[in-house]
Amino acid sequence: MKKQNTASAKSKRFITNTIVHVILAVLAVIWVIPIAWIIMISFRGESGQYISTLIPKTFTLNNYKKLFTDTQILNFPQMFINTLIISIFSCAISTFFVLSVSYCMSRMRFKMRKPMMNIALVLGMFPGFMSMIAVYYILKSVGLSEGAMIRVALVLVYSGGAGLGFYIAKGFFDTIPKSIDEAAYLDGATRFQVFTKITIPLSKPIIVYTILQAFMAPWLDFIFAKVICRANAKYYTVSIGLWNMLEKEYVNSWFNCFAAGAVLISIPIVILFMSMQKCYQEGVSGAVKG
């Protein structure tokens, strides 16, 4: 009787696992199809956005070549450099803000701490673009809406309010035992030394997560970049450039280049994630459990 029950349980477990794997395989295919389609279009030789076949009849590298050579109408290399510069600086500043605020909220006890956390939680529920008009006029009043200062303005916009997103990092810092901090204080360490030499080395997973989020936000943003850059084509980001490729006057000749540009802008994100993945795994295996 026990053997029959065991065989029946194994059979049910096998059927359940098979169903789960089939569902995951179907979802994976659905997720990969749009990506594969964009990649195929980026190598397509036929021009225009409307074609009769899903798979291109001819393949070419001219779409990628055009992005970097035909810069009189849409200067993709300049847009790529602008976005990369803005994303790197925004990522560094945002990561510093988020980790600093998270550590303070996790370890320090001060007046108005809880009200500040509640206010940050409420503000985080509102989309950032609700304030974009007010932000633009503030930047304009201080002279950051023209010329090269547009890059500075975008960095400030993307990193200025990053500290409000401290909740996830704070939750991670809460898992690190406070006894480690107390032992360091007894040895004469300052709070800053505890943060930089003890807490940060133990927090690789959340640091990697914060860096990825801080980099992707400006890299993929369109709304704030469009509002602040306006008609200053020299300071456009890649999101604005890709959007312009789909406008009426450009879409027929630039649609394939749009797909090529979409592939190219995904490369830095993939490289960043793949390089950070090892650090994430090492951080998980070495993190302190509290």
Confidence of residue 89 (pLDDT cuts 50, 70, 90): very high
Residue 98 belongs to some domain of the structure: yes
Residue 286's pLDDT is: 42
pLDDT in tens, 183-222: 888 888 888 888 888 888 888 888 888 888 888 888 888 8
Query: How confident is the model over 151-192, as pLDDT tens digits?
Result: 888 898 888 878 777 888 888 888 888 888 888 888 888 888
Tell me if 63 is assigned to some domain: no
- Domain at 270, CATH number: 1.10.3720.10
Decide: 227 and 137 in contact? Cβ < 8 Å.
no
CA distance 275 to 208: 10
More confident residue, 51 or 112: 112
> What residues make up the domain containing 106?
68-286
Which tops the pLDDT comparison, 229 or 127? 229
**Does 285 have pLDDT greater than 50?**
no
pTM score of the predicted model: 0.80
Task: Output 11 or 68, whichever has higher pLDDT.
Answer: 68
Confidence band of 93 (pLDDT split at 50, 70, 90): very high
In a domain, 124, yes or no: yes
Higher pLDDT, 218 or 126: 218
* Cα(221)–Cα(248) distance, integer angstroms: 22
Token reading at 167? 């909740």
User: Is 29 within the bounds of a domain?
Assistant: no
Please give the residue that has the higher pLDDT: either 89 or 276: 89
Going by C-alpha positions, the residue among 85, 96, 203, 56 that lies closest to residue 155 is 85
- What phi and psi, each to the nearest 5 degrees, are found at residue 44? -75, 140
| CA–CA separation, 89 and 166 (whole Å) | 19
Output the pLDDT for position 288. 44
Task: Report the SS3 class of residue 59.
Answer: strand
Q: Residue 34: inside a domain, yes or no?
A: no
pLDDT (mean) for 57-71: 85
Show Cβ contacts of residue 72 under 8 Å, excluding neighbours closer than 6 positions.
Answer: none
Range 60-77 average pLDDT: 85
The span from the CA of 49 to the CA of 37, in Å, is 13
Q: Which residues contact 166 (CB under 8 A, 6 or more apart)?
A: 98, 101, 102, 105, 120
> 179: which 2 tokens?
């006894």
If you count DSSP H runs as helices and E runs as strands, how many of each does the chain have, helices first?
13, 0
Please count the structural domains in the chain: 1
> Is 8 part of any domain?
no
Domain contains 26 = no
**Is residue 77 one of the residues assigned to a domain?**
yes
Lowest mean pLDDT among 66-70, 144-148, 280-284: 280-284
The answer to whether the beta carbons of residues 82 and 237 sit under 8 Å apart is: yes
What's the pLDDT band for 23 if we cut at 50, 70, 90?
very high
Instruction: Quote the tokens at residue 231.
Output: 């008609």
